[in-house]
Amino acid sequence: MGTEHGVRYREQGEAVGGTYLMVHGLGGSLEQWSEIVRLLGAGARAIAVDVPGFGRTRTVTGAFSVDESARAIVRLCAEKDVRDGVLVSHSVGCVLAARVAALAPDRFRRLVFVSGALVRASEMAQHPTRALRAPMLGLTVATQFVAGLFPVPRPVLNALARVKPLRRLLLRPFVAAPDSLDGGLLVETLTGTGSPAVLRVLFTAKGIPYDDILRAVTQPVDLITGDRDPLIRDQDRVLVRELVRVEGDAVIRRCGHWPWLEHPAELAALIAESARHDR
């Protein structure tokens, strides 16, 4: 663990095999990538970051800015001499990752959007009245925001790890098969979640130029999506192709919105496979 330029990070492995930089999703922390860092760090350098304003860098006021956070991560990349990198991001974090890639195009050769084809969900966050046209999607989007807002106490995480009915009740919107989750990994990856910055994202969503940020990405993009992700449908994966140059489109079976918890080994293998495309 370390902190550079206000960005907390975890690093494992050597850069001789390339560098993966991982950006978490809304309300998350670098801990969500724990198993992925271990797996990818065995053959390359893997760096996971806390987006400024989230994880252990969260503040009481919920301060957050896409541009300021992206620039801070770019400064970290310069400090760590990230070159020929693969930028991996999850969910709404893909917007921030796209901004990072546009600010430092010489440091990344490819992006991987994990559960990140959130075109309709992003439009709904910017224009809440659209939820009337797709109420189930609207409810799921609202659930994601609420879940990302509140830090989860350690006793609750421990209870989720032990009690399967509680998992079914609380995690069904995020994972496909709550009963099959690894309890230890659940506690590890959900530690540090929750931030008041989620409210800032929600209140400023209309002013975030989602489409323009994605269109500014010049690198190829690979998509990795769970087949049971309630936020993403085939329509979204088609729409995202209008914004970025999608080269790969992988689907993880029996998986919801959190593949880093549900199927970490498969996810890591797909990310590594994506990195080999340009070799």
pLDDT in tens, 156-170: 999 999 999 999 999
* pLDDT > 90? residue 9: yes
Confidence tier at 1 by pLDDT (50, 70, 90) = confident
User: What does the pLDDT read at residue 132?
Assistant: 67
- Mean pLDDT within 48-77: 88
* pLDDT > 90? residue 196: no
Confidence tier at 130 by pLDDT (50, 70, 90) = confident
* pLDDT > 90? residue 189: yes
User: What does the pLDDT read at residue 149?
Assistant: 84
User: What does the pLDDT read at residue 51?
Assistant: 94
Least confident of 79-83, 125-129, 145-149, 213-217: 125-129
* pLDDT > 90? residue 15: no
User: What does the pLDDT read at residue 155?
Assistant: 93
The β-bridge relationship of strands 45-49 and 108-114 is unpaired
The dihedral over CA atoms of 29, 278, 242, 130, expressed in degrees to the nearest 10, equals -20
Return the beta strands (E) in 65-206 as ranges. Answer: 85-90, 108-114
Task: Report the chain's mean pLDDT, rounded to a whole number.
Answer: 91
* % of the chain surpassing 90 pLDDT: 67
* pLDDT > 80? residue 4: no
Beta-bridged to residue 223, according to DSSP, are: 113, 249
Confidence tier at 135 by pLDDT (50, 70, 90) = confident
3-state secondary structure of 51: coil
User: What does the pLDDT read at residue 37?
Assistant: 97
Look at the block and give the residue holding tokens 């922390």. 29
User: What does the pLDDT read at residue 110?
Assistant: 96
User: What does the pLDDT read at residue 279?
Assistant: 59
Residue 108 phi/psi, 5-degree rounding, is -130, 135
Confidence tier at 57 by pLDDT (50, 70, 90) = confident
Least confident of 14-23, 197-206, 236-245: 197-206
User: What does the pLDDT read at residue 60?
Assistant: 66
From CA 199, how far away is CA 179, in angstroms rounded?
31
- Mean pLDDT within 106-120: 94
Q: CB-side exposure of 270: number of CA atoms within 13 Å?
A: 24
Look at the block and give the residue holding tokens 């996810």. 267
